[in-house]
A and B are shown apart, each in its own frame.
Chain A
Amino acid sequence: MGGLASVLAPIAFVNETVLRFGRAVGIVAIALMVIAILIQVFFRYVLGNALPWPDEAARFCMLWMTGLMAPTAFRRGGFVAIDMVPMMLPRVLGQLLTLFLLIVSLAVLLVAVNIGWSEVTGFGGKFATAALYIPTSFGFDEWYRVPRSWMMASLLVGVILLIAVNIELILRAILTLLGGGDLLPKIADAPVGAE
C-alpha cells in the first residue's frame, strides 16, 4: 500500500502542477474571448466595419479553455454523473464499481487519443483557419496563417490531460479499496457544479 501511495504522490503532484498551468491559460483564454467579441461588436455596430478574425479567434480560445480546464473539473469530481448506485452499495462493492467506471472512462479516452492524434496530424489538420494569422517578424510585415490543427489540438491535449487525471483517480480508487484512504494526497479547491 505504501508503494502504491509513493507512485500516486508524484502523479498527483504533476497533475496538480500541469492543471494549475492549464487553468491559468484557460483564464487568459476566457478573457480573450470576451475581448474578441466586444471588439467585433464595436467594429460592426459602431464603426460599421466587420472584422474577419474575432469570431474564429474567440472559438480558438474557447476550445483551448475547454481542453485545458475540463480535466481540472474531472479531477475535482465536477463531471456530472448519477452516483446513487455506487453510494448505495456496500463499501467494497461501491469502490469496485467506481474502479470499473474509471476503467471504462479510460478506455474511452484511449480510443479518443488515438483518433485525435490521427485527426490532428492527418488531412483535416493540414487546412488553414479562415482568418487567423500570427506575425512572424517584428515589423509585422510577414504573417503565418494558423493551421486548423492548432485548433484541433485543443481536444487532443484535453483528452491527454483527462487520461493523466483518470490514471490518478484509478490509483486513488485502488488505494481507497485497499483501506489506504488516509494516505491519499489532497485535491485542492472545491468541487465544480454545472447548473
Chain B
Amino acid sequence: MLIWFLPTFLIFLMIGLPVFFALLAAPGILLWLNGQTNDITLLYRNVYNGMDSFPLMAIPFFMLAGELMNRGGITIRLVEFSQALMGHFRGGLAHVNVLSSILFAGLSGSAVADTSALGSMLIPAMEKQGYTRRFAAAITAASSVIGPIIPPSGIMIIYAYVMGESVAALFLAGIVPGVMVGVGLMLMIKVMADKYDFPVASRKYTWPERRQASLKAFFPLLTPVIILGGILGGIFTPTEAAAVAVGYAFIIGFFVLRTLTLKEVPEILSNAGLTSAVVLLLVGAAMAFKTVVSLSHAPEQLAALILGLSENPLILLFLINLLLFVVGMFLDAGPAIIILGPILAPIFTSLGVDPIHFAIIMSVNLTVGLATPPMGLVLFVAAAVSREKVETIAKAILPFLAVEIIVIFLITYVPALSMTIPRITGFAN
C-alpha cells in the first residue's frame, strides 16, 4: 500500500500544494492508513536531522556571498571586463551578456541572481544599441542558467547532500558543461549576428585598456579561485570555503571597492536568510521523504518499470532526459532534484552510470528547465526586469534552448566531458 504515496504525492504537487507540505503529507497519510504511526514520528525526526547538517550550511553562505557581491558593484566590473574582451565582435553586447554570466557563475550559484543583476544592466543597454527587448531578455535568461552549473552551485550542494555525493566532485564536474553552455550560446549569437546584422558594442579595446579592466575585475574574479582552490587543495571544506567567500565579499565590498554601506547589511542578510530558510526546510522534508521512498521499495518497483521499457542505458538516459526536461518546465531545479534524486539516481547507478555523471545530467537538465516555458523561474524574472511579456521572451529564447538541449545530450552521451576534471583531480573514480 505504501507504494501509493508516490501517486498521492504527484497529485498533491499537481494541484498546487507547496512542495514542502506535499513531501510530508503524501507519505504521512499513507503511513497513517497503513497503521505505521510510529514512522510518522520518524518523518518529523528526519526533517529535523536533515536540516541539522554542517555541509548544508554552505547554501546560506553562498547565497549571502552572492548577495554581497551583487550589491557591492561587482557586477558592473564583470560586465566592463567582458566588454573589454568581446565588445568589438558583431553582436558584442550579446556576447558580453553570456561571458558576464560565465564569470558571474563563479561568484554566485543562482540563476535568478544572474538574471536580475545582469539583466537590469544589460537589457536596457542592448535595447539602446538596437537589439529588440525580447532578444535581450531571452539571451539574459538563457545565459543565466550557467549560474547553477559552474561552481559554486546551490543545487549541486543540495544534490550532494541528499544523495551523499562529494560536493567537490560535483563542483568540478560542472565546470566543462557550464562553459559548454556558454560557448554554445555564443556560437548561436554569432550565427544570428551574421544573419540579422547585430551591432558591435564598442571599438576594439587596446591591451592597456584591457589590462585596466582586468585589474578592476581582479578581486571579484579571484573568488572562484579561492573557493575551488581552497576545496581542491584540502584547505577548506565546501562549507568553510563558502564562509570564507562571505568574508572575502564583505572585505572587498567594504574596504577595497568601498561600494557597500553598513545600512545595506541587514537587508542583505535578510534576503539570504529568507531564501535559505525555504531551501533548508525543503531539504529537511526531502530527507524525510527519502526515508519513506526506501521503506516503500518504490525505487525497485520503478526500476523494474523503467527497465521494462528498455535495458539499454543509452535509450533509458534519453527517456530520462525527456522526463527531466518536462519536469523542469513545471518545477524549479532545487525541488525537482530533491524529489527525483532519491528515486532516479539509484536506478541509473545500478545500470552502471557513474553517480557523479548522473548528478550532472540531472542538474544541467533541470537547470535549463529554469528558462523553459511555461513555469521557468528565470523567464519570469527576465520579464520583470525587462518589462517584456513572458510569452514573447519564451518564443525568443527557443534558439538558445535548442543549444542547451544539444549540450544536455552531449553531456549525457560523452561522460568524459563532465567526468575528466573530477577524475584527474582524484575526486571521482
Contacts and interface: CB of A to CB of B under 8 A. Distances in A.
Interface of A: 23, 26-27, 29-31, 33-34, 37-38, 40-41, 45, 55, 58-59, 62-63, 65-66, 68-70, 72-74, 78-86, 97-98, 101, 104-105, 107-108, 111-112, 115-116, 118-119, 151-152, 155, 158, 192-195
A116 B155 CA distance: 28
A58 B240 CA distance: 11
B26 to A, nearest CB: 10
B54 interface: yes
Interface in B158-183: none
Contacts of B278: 70, 73, 78-80, 192, 194
B74 interface: no
Nearest to B60: A30
A37 B48 CA distance: 21
B281 interface: yes
Contacts of B12: 104
A68 B334 CA distance: 21
Contact of A26 (B48, B273, B279, B381): B273
A38 B330 CA distance: 39
A69 B51 CA distance: 14
Interface in B265-288: 266, 269-270, 272-282, 284
A143 B62 CA distance: 34
B16 A101 contact: yes
Nearest to A23: B270
Given A82-B14, A85-B15, A195 B333 contact: yes
B150 to A, nearest CB: 15
Contact of B240 (A31, A37, A192, A193): A37
A84 B20 contact: no
Contacts of B266: 27
B193 interface: no
Interface stretch (B242-250, B340-348, B385-393): B242-250
**Most chain B CB inside 10 Å of its own CB: which residue of A62, A63, A112, A116:** A62
A59 B44 contact: no
Contacts of B269: 27, 30-31
Nearest to B245: A34
B19 interface: yes
Contact of A105 (B21, B235, B279, B331): B21
A156 B155 CA distance: 27
B417 to A, nearest CB: 24
A151 B52 contact: yes
A108 B21 contact: yes
B236 interface: yes
Name which of A38, A70, A78, A192 has the most chain B CB atoms within 10 A of its CB. A70
A82 B13 contact: yes
B57 interface: yes
A165 B370 CA distance: 29
B34 interface: no
Contact of A80 (B18, B47, B48): B18
A80 B57 contact: no
B143 interface: no
A65 B277 contact: yes
B16 A81 contact: yes
15 contacts: A30-B60, A37-B57, A38-B243, A62-B57, A65-B277, A69-B277, A79-B278, A97-B16, A104-B17, A108-B24, A108-B25, A192-B275, A193-B381, A195-B112, A195-B370
B239 interface: yes
Contacts of B151: none
Interface of A, secondary structure class, is helix
Contacts of A27: 266, 269-270, 273
A43 B154 CA distance: 27
The list of the 6 closest CB pairs from A to B, nearest first, reads A37-B243, A79-B18, A69-B277, A70-B277, A81-B18, A115-B44
A29 B279 CA distance: 16
B405 interface: no
B143 to A, nearest CB: 15
B53 interface: yes
Contact of B48 (A58, A69, A79, A155): A155
Given A27-B269, A69-B274, A195-B111, A59 B19 contact: no
Interface in B98-112: 110-112
B44 A65 contact: no
A188 B349 CA distance: 47
B61 interface: yes
B332 A80 contact: yes
B93 interface: no
Nearest to A124: B45
Contacts of A31: 269
A26 B280 contact: no
Given A34-B61, A155-B51, A83 B332 contact: no
Contact of B244 (A30, A38, A55, A116): A38
B374 interface: yes
B199 interface: no
B377 interface: yes
**Which of A33, A45, A79, A108 lies at the interface centre, i.e. has the most chain B CB atoms within 10 A of its CB?**
A108
Nearest to B13: A82
Given A78-B275, A108-B24, 11 more contacts: A27-B270, A30-B276, A37-B57, A37-B243, A73-B275, A80-B20, A80-B332, A101-B21, A111-B28, A112-B24, A119-B45
Contacts of A68: 277
Interface string B17-45: 11111001100100000000000110011
B17 A101 contact: yes
Contacts of A65: 60, 273, 276-277
